[in-house]
Amino acid sequence: MSETWWRGAAIYQVYLRSFADGNGDGIGDLAGLRSRLPYLSDLGIGAIWLNPWYPSPMADGGYDVADYRDIEPSFGTLAEAEQFIEEAHALGIRVIIDVVPNHSSDQSAWFQEALAAGPGSAARERFWFKDEPNDWKSIFGGPAWTQVPDGQWYLHLFAPEQPDFNWTNPEVHQEFHDVLRFWFDRGVDGIRIDSAAVLVKDFDGGDPEGYTDLAEVHDVYRSWRRLSDEYDERLLIGEVWFPDQERFARYLRPDELHTAFNFDFLGSPWDPAALRASIEQTIATHVPLGAPATWVLSNHDVVRPVTRYGRANTSWDNGNRRDGVPSDLELGYRRARAAALLAMALPGSVYVYQGEELGLPEVEDIPDELREDPMWHRSGHAVVGRDGCRVPLPWSGDETPFGFGTGNPWLPQPEAWKKVTVEAQQADLGSMLNLYRTALHLRREWLEGGGITWLDLGPEVLAFTRESGLTCVVNLAADPVRLPPHESVLLASGSIEGDELPSDTAVWLRTT
3-state secondary structure of 176: helix
Q: Which does 373 bind (CB under 5 to 8 A by kind): Ca ion, ligand NOJ, none?
A: none
153 and 129 in contact (C-beta within 8 Å)? yes
| CA gap 404, 213 in Å, rounded | 40
Q: E-strand spans in 73-158?
A: 94-99, 129-130, 145-147, 153-155
The single residue among 4, 25, 113, 400 that binds Ca ion, judged by CB under 5 A, is 25
Lay out the site mask for ligand NOJ across 99-118 (x = CB under 6 A, - = otherwise). -x------------------
Lay out the site mask for ligand NOJ across 293-312 (x = CB under 6 A, - = otherwise). -------xx-----------
Instruction: Quote the least distance from Cβ 431 to ligand NOJ, whole Å.
Output: 28
Amino acid at site 466: R
The reply to whether 230 belongs to the active site is yes
The reply to whether 467 belongs to the active site is no
Q: Count CB neighbours of 427 within 10 A.
A: 11
The residue at minimum Cβ distance from Ca ion is 29
The single residue among 4, 23, 426, 511 that binds Ca ion, judged by CB under 5 A, is 23
Instruction: Quote the least distance from Cβ 410 to Ca ion, whole Å.
Output: 9
The residue among 134, 194, 187, 204 whose CA lies nearest residue 165 is 194
User: Quick one: 198 or 435, whose CB is closer to ligand NOJ?
Assistant: 198
User: Quick one: 31 or 433, whose CB is closer to Ca ion?
Assistant: 31
Q: Count CB neighbours of 383 within 10 A.
A: 18
Q: Which does 194 bind (CB under 5 to 8 A by kind): Ca ion, ligand NOJ, none?
A: ligand NOJ
How many residues bind Ca ion, per CB under 5 A? 5
The residue at minimum Cβ distance from ligand NOJ is 63
Instruction: Quote the least distance from Cβ 405 to ligand NOJ, whole Å.
Output: 23
CA 397 to chain centre: 28
φ and ψ of 81, to 5 deg: -65, -40
Question: Of residues 183-242, which lie at the interface with ligand NOJ (CB under 6 A)?
Answer: 194-195, 239
Catalytic entry in 98, 194, 301, 373 = 194
User: Quick one: 22 or 385, whose CB is closer to Ca ion?
Assistant: 22
| CA gap 346, 349 in Å, rounded | 8
Question: Of residues 328-367, which lie at the interface with ligand NOJ (CB under 6 A)?
Answer: none
Instruction: Quote the least distance from Cβ 194 to ligand NOJ, whole Å.
Output: 5
Lay out the site mask for ligand NOJ across 24-63 (x = CB under 6 A, - = otherwise). ------------------------------------x--x
110 and 122 in contact (C-beta within 8 Å)? no
Burial class of 472 by CB neighbour count within 10 A (0 to 12, 13 to 18, 19+): buried
Instruction: Quote the least distance from Cβ 52 to ligand NOJ, whole Å.
Output: 8
In the DSSP assignment, the letter for residue 106 is T
The string of DSSP codes covering 398-446 is: SSTTTTS-SS--SSPPPGGGGGS-HHHHHT-TTSHHHHHHHHHHHHHHH
The single residue among 13, 19, 21, 308 that binds Ca ion, judged by CB under 5 A, is 21
Question: Could you list the active site residues?
Answer: 194, 230
Which residues make up the interface to ligand NOJ (CB under 6 A)? 60, 63, 100, 158, 194-195, 239, 300-301
